[in-house]
Amino acid sequence: MGLSTHATHATPALHPTRSTLSVAATMVLLTLCLASPALADPLPTAASAVSPAATAPVAVAPVALARMTMRISGPTGAVSPGAHVIGVRLMADGAYVRDAPVRVERWAASGWEYVGRMITDAEGLARQPFGFASTTRVRALYEGSATRTTGISPEVGVRIADFRQQAVRIASQQAGKPYRYGSVGPDSFDCSGLVTYAFARAGKTLPRTSQDMLRATQRIANDAKQPGDLVFTHTAGRVGHVGIYAGDGRFWVAPRSGDVVKLQRIYTTSYVVGRVG
């Protein structure tokens, strides 16, 4: 019998078709798009990522400077022309400042002018003599630093006595010394001896007798007299006594035997006034 031959149909191999690949690629791209951020909002650039506030200048707090204070001192009362000590104390926020340069100035017709320079010690103190020929105002100046403010002291007056004022002061220093006729000091005086002594110490030479003094001075109205003028009492037109006017109606005199040099009220209206030039 003949064998029947049956056609064998093999199962076809699974090979992807073009259409299958297209579908798969589409699915992958869709998945990636869903997982990625939207392209409509791009990442900021380096320039746009910096905040405007970050580029603005940073404000720096100012450094607080120590506040300077100064005190100044000078001679008291009227003094003779010459060198006199000026003292200054310098402090910063209440603490002494050492090794600091201090400028001393005096007032002149053109304004404040330089007199000299001092350096403070460990206690903020500086003291130094400066020459003065006339009455003036004085102040001290600290010019400041990177950590301290400037400082200016209050003003202090330096009062220089002229020779007439000096004569008054010198006469006052003889108070209590005895009267002795013909004596010109320094331990005793007669009236004209006291006057010549006081003015000689103040730098002025006068004649020895009261009559000659009157002739050597400038006549001043009685109501215009100033300290340092000479007061000549007289009787019957003749000078009998002389003293140095001190102000307030009084004068320094060596009155008479048995008395002493003293400040006495002008006891008569019979007097004339002479000014030493």
Q: Please tell me the number of Cα atoms within 13 Å of 89 on its side-chain side.
A: 9
At residue 112's C-alpha, the angle toward residues 107 and 118, to 5°, is 95
Stretch(es) of the chain classified as CATH 3.90.1720.10: 164-275
Tell me if 201 sits within 8 A of 245, measured CB to CB. Answer: no
Cite the residue boundaries of each domain of the chain with CATH code 2.60.40.10.
Answer: 68-160
pLDDT of residue 182: 95
Note down pLDDT in tens along the chain; length 277 residues. Answer: 443 444 444 444 444 555 444 545 445 444 444 444 443 444 445 544 555 555 666 666 677 899 999 999 999 988 888 899 999 999 999 999 999 999 999 999 899 999 999 999 999 999 999 999 889 999 999 999 999 999 999 999 999 888 999 999 999 999 999 999 999 999 999 999 999 999 999 989 999 999 999 999 999 999 999 999 999 998 877 888 999 999 999 999 999 999 999 999 999 999 999 999 8
Measured CA to CA, the distance from residue 252 to residue 243 in angstroms comes to 5
Gap between the Cα atoms of 118 and 125, Å rounded? 9
Does this model's pTM top 0.75? My answer is no
Q: To which CATH superfamily is domain 164-275 assigned?
A: endopeptidase domain like (from Nostoc punctiforme) (3.90.1720.10)
CATH of 68-160, picked from 2.40.110.10, 3.40.50.1950, 2.60.40.10, 3.20.110.20, is 2.60.40.10
Q: Which of 242, 265, 258, 261 is nearest to 186 (CA)?
A: 261
